[in-house]
Amino acid sequence: MTKEKQPKLIKQFDKRSGHTYFYESISYWDSEKKQSRAKRKLVGKLDPTTGEMVPTDGRMKKKKIVTSPVPPLTAIKRSFYGATYALSQVAKTIGLTEDLKVIFPTDYQSFLALAYYLVLAPTSSMQKFNRWSELHHLSYDVSRLTSQRISELFQRVTEKEKQAFFKA
């Protein structure tokens, strides 16, 4: 008939660290060695300022990492800005933006974007405009300008509008 032993709280000073630790100790009889033994489990450390036990979990085996909630990732977009900005300033300075706005009031931004593309990527086809526009900063939305829409845009330009543009 064995009875359950209740753990005893033992306070022990560690000379190496200079701290006092608290252990739960359970004594038992080792029948092979014919000696009493003790199993100890670290349960805390003495707080020198308050004199109270601060609970611990051994050698930080179960230390829970406390982190602040991670904000959701936002899409990061990198775009080339300098060349399109410079072309935009040139277009404003020479009056190209205003002239296009007068003659093509609904499509002038698309024509400007296509002009920037033809200047900055002169050997590329119109099929590649959509990808180019994703990589370069434009101050207006041209996501609807697919290769098909560009063809339709050019087809809508009348001879009268062309002449009006070159006279402006």
- Split at pLDDT 50, 70, 90, the class of 156 is very high
Coil/strand/helix, residue 28: strand
Residues 140-156: what's their mean pLDDT?
91
Predicted pLDDT at 43: 87
Give 27's DSSP letter.
Answer: E
**Residue 28 pairs with which residues in a beta bridge?**
37
Model-level pTM?
0.55
Residues ≥6 apart with Cβ < 8 Å to 100: 108, 111, 112, 165
Nearest to 138 by CA among 94, 97, 104, 105: 97
pLDDT digits (tens, 9 = 90+) for 45-76: 898 889 888 888 656 566 666 677 878 878 77
C-alpha dist (Å) from residue 119 to 76, 86, 115, 163: 27, 12, 6, 22
Euclidean distance between CA atoms 137 and 167, whole angstroms: 30
Predicted pLDDT at 92: 95
79 conformational bin, left if phi > 0, alpha if psi -120 to 50, beta if neither: beta
- Split at pLDDT 50, 70, 90, the class of 3 is low
- Split at pLDDT 50, 70, 90, the class of 5 is confident
Residues 100-111: what's their mean pLDDT?
94
Contact between 77 and 43 (Cβ < 8 Å) = no
Predicted pLDDT at 63: 61
Rg (the chain; Cα; Å): 39
- Split at pLDDT 50, 70, 90, the class of 8 is confident
Q: Mean pLDDT in the chain?
A: 87
